Amino acid sequence: MLILRIVSAGIDYKNTSIELREKLSFTDKRLLEIMEVICENEGIGGCVIISTCNRTEIYLSFDDSCEEPDAGELLCMAANVEFSLFKNKFIYRYDDEAVQYLMEVACGLHSAILCEEQISGQINSAAQLSREGGFSDALLNTLFRNAVTAGKRALTEVSVQNVPLSTAYGAVKMAEGLYGTLRNKECLVIGNGKMGRAAAQYLLRHGCRVTMTLRTYRHGENIIPDGCGKIGYDRRFEQAEKSDFVISATRSPHYTLRADDIINMSKKPDYIFDLAVPRDIEPEIYNIVKCYTVDDICVDNSAQKEQLMKIYSIIDEFKERFEQWRKYKENAQSVCAVQGGTAD
């Protein structure tokens, strides 16, 4: 009887520098190419890769009659990245431990911003990309569906006090701490995607004047929050000279700010917050302007014990759902094997 097991391998902000994480940060197109290569290996049933600013994790289902795969090595080989750089960084988890960990990640318990609101959506997007590419299987589909639902339940049902809900909010609160107040401060937000818009909205609520860059406009996309000014992306340096600080949050493969451009500014911003991985800001700028990355924005908050217990209770519920489904499938396979058929 075919038994599929689960293995995960991952790096995150706690054990791997941003310089290394950049090497395992991928676009959706690249992820599809990588998963296709990985799934060609014998015994691999399915593959899902989570690639965010703070973590890159691969989840594999594999046939236990085959040699146990090294998930981290497979990821690096498929991505043409030197495995030796990460050999001592990858953390491996198998079966129940992998299931538990994914549920905890989806509930925000391992995020740089505790219980942040974006992670369950990011995990859902990773699972959806794998499904659409034909690289997931029933085991991983069910696991990720339960993890995402657990994460959404935790976010909506458990109120964790005094905890920023996203990296964007963490950056805004850090800026507020640096200035004392953001009222009437001027900020340039480079990037009008989800993270950039979130940062802009938080800034506006704190009384900051905000200008966002805009590359192109398509109906239903690139929505500038009410109250924000807008400027063409190619004029970002002009606006940066007028700004007290800059937040950059794009998925651009190129630097949005380079050292030469900053050096030539008549007035430099006080601070630059880089919320992207790979980084938007050329590292040489760190010697010119005080810069903060997503690693600097990590907030060490502790939720009340009662609230954490509620989150773990939700995790236990959805772990049990997944295990019940898995046992049902294995029992159905056993019956079909005896009868000479196959399970759906």
Identify the CA nearest to 184 among candidates 128, 137, 235, 243. 243
Angle made by CA atoms 102, 323, 148, in degrees to the nearest 5: 35
Tokens of 296: 């600097």
Residue 90 CA: distances (Å) to CA of 27, 104, 164, 322: 20, 18, 28, 25
Amino acid (1-letter code) at residue 296: D
Q: Is 324 exposed, middle or buried (0-12, 13-18, 19+ CB in 10 A)?
A: exposed
Q: Rounded to whole angstroms, how far apart are CA atoms 138 and 343?
A: 12
Identify the CA nearest to 307 among candidates 159, 156, 101. 159
53 is an active site residue? yes
Choose the catalytic residue: 53, 107, 187, 228: 53
Identify the CA nearest to 53 among candidates 232, 221, 281, 293. 293
Q: Rounded to whole angstroms, how far apart are CA atoms 238 and 231?
A: 10
Identify the CA nearest to 22 among candidates 215, 264, 277. 277
Helices (H) and strands (E) counted in the chain, each on its own, are 11, 10
Residue numbers annotated as active site: 53
